[in-house]
Amino acid sequence: MKALVPDFAINIWASFPPLLQYLISTTTAILVVMISVILIVAFSTYFERKVIGSMQARVGPNRVGPLGLGQPFADVIKLLIKEIVIPSQSNKFLFVIAPLLSLIPALATWAVMPLHPGFVIADINAGLLYVLALMSVGVYGVILAGWATNSKYAFLGAMRSAAQIVAYEIAMGFALVGVLMAGGSLNLGVIVAGQEGGLSQWFLIPLFPLFIVYWISGLAETNRAPFDVAEGESEIVAGFHVEYSGVAFALFFLAEYANMVLISGLTAVFFLGGWASPFEGWLFLQGTPMQWLAAPSVGWLFAKICFFMYSFFWFRATFPRYRYDQIMRLGWKVFIPITIIWIAVEGVMAWLRVGPWATLGG
C-alpha cells in the first residue's frame, strides 16, 4: 500500500467519517462494475456480429477502426443522435419508462454477483432470492412497452414474451433450488466458495440436468434465438419494440445484452464455480510462471461469461426459431418435471452420501 499511495492521501482518507468512507468506496465499486458491464455489453454486439459472420462465411464488421473494433461506438452514436418517435396514440409516460424498466433490473442484479474472491458490492444473505425477484421484475419492461405502444404487433409480442418468461421462470427457480441444496446457502458468495477446489468440485457434475435446464431457460428468459418469438420479425415485424427508435430502442438493445451477460455470469456462478479456477490444486503448477492458472480471480469468471456468450451467438446462428406451442410444451412439460425429479435424486444421493453428491450440502 505504502509504495502505491502517498502518505498524505492515506491520512486524508482516514480523516473522513466512516459513513463517507463507506459511501465513496461503494459508489466507486458500483461505477467500476457498471462501466465494465456496459463495455462488455457494447463489445458483445461486435463479438456477436463477428461470430455469426464467421459462421455464415462472411467477414463481419471491419470498417470502423482497426478490425472494426470501433463499430459498437459508431452504433451508439448513431442511435443517440436519431430522433425518438413517440406514436401519437400511445401512452406517453409508460412508453418512455418501459425501456428503463427492462434495463434497471438487468443492471441491479450485478450488486450481488461475487466477482472476485472477497469482492461483491452487496454481500446479502438472500442473494439468490434477490436474483430471482429482479429477473421476474424485468418482464414489466416488455409488457408495458407492448401495451403502451398501442399497436397490435407490439401487443402480440408483449403477450408472447410475458407468457414465455413466466413459464421459464418456474423451471429456472426449480433449478436454483437444486443449487441452493448443493451450496447450503442463499448467499452467492457462499455458493461459489462451496465449489472451490478444482473442476471436480463444480456443481456442474452433480447437477448436470439442472445446469442444462438453467442454461436453456436462461436463453428463453432473455428472449434470444431460438426462443425470440417476442420479436419474431417474420410474423409480427419486430414485436414489442416495433415503434421504438433512437435512444429508447438502444436501451432495449442494451437491456437484452445486459441480460445475456447476466445470465452467463449467473450460470457460471451457480454451476461452474464463478471466480474459482478449474486447475485449483494442480500442485505441479506451483512455483512455475503458470502459477496464476491455479489461482481464483475475476479473469476466470470473465472467461466463463465469454464461453456462455459465445454459445448464445452460436445457438442464434445455428437453430431455427421454436414454434410458440412447442416453447410452452418444453417449459411446462419437459423442464419442470426434469428439475423436480433431479431435486429428489439429489436429495436422496446427498443423504446416502454417494459419488459426487457426497460432499454437497455445505
Residue range at the interface with other proteins (CB under 8 A); choices 139-147, 197-205, 266-274, 281-289: 139-147
Interacting residues of 333 by C-beta distance below 8 A, sequence separation 6+? none
Write the burial class of residue 341 (CB in 10 Å: 0-12 exposed, 13-18 middle, 19+ buried).
exposed
* Site membership for other proteins, residue 325 (CB under 8 A): yes
Interface with other proteins (CB under 8 A), residue total 27
- 243 binds other proteins, rule: CB under 8 A: no
In the complex with other proteins, the residue whose CB is nearer, 124 or 177, is 124
Residue 169 binds to other proteins (criterion: CB under 8 A): yes
Answer for the pair 321, 232: CB distance below 8 angstroms, yes or no.
Answer: yes
- Whether 172 and 221 have beta carbons less than 8 Å apart is answered as yes
Closest by CA to 201, choosing from 280, 284, 292, 314, is 280
Residue 83 in contact with other proteins, rule: CB under 8 A: no
Q: Per CB under 8 A, does 133 bind other proteins? A: yes
Binding residue for other proteins, selected from 106, 107, 113, 139, defined by CB under 8 A:
139
Looking at beta carbons only, is 51 or 167 nearer to other proteins?
167
Could you say whether residue 328 binds other proteins (CB under 8 A)? no
Q: Could you tell me the smallest distance in angstroms from the CB atom of residue 211 to other proteins?
A: 22
- Residue 280 burial (C-beta neighbours within 10 Å; 0-12, 13-18, 19+): buried
Instruction: Tell me how crowded residue 298 is: count the other CB atoms within 10 A of its CB.
Output: 15
Phi, psi dihedral angles at 249 (to 5 degrees): -65, -40
Instruction: Return the residue of 130, 214, 215, 253 that touches other proteins, per CB under 8 A.
Output: 130
Binding of other proteins at residue 326 (CB under 8 A)?
A: yes
Q: Report which residue type is found at 151.
A: S
Binding site for other proteins (CB under 8 A): 91, 94, 124-126, 129-130, 132-133, 135-137, 139-140, 143-144, 147, 155, 159, 162-163, 166, 169, 186, 325-326, 329
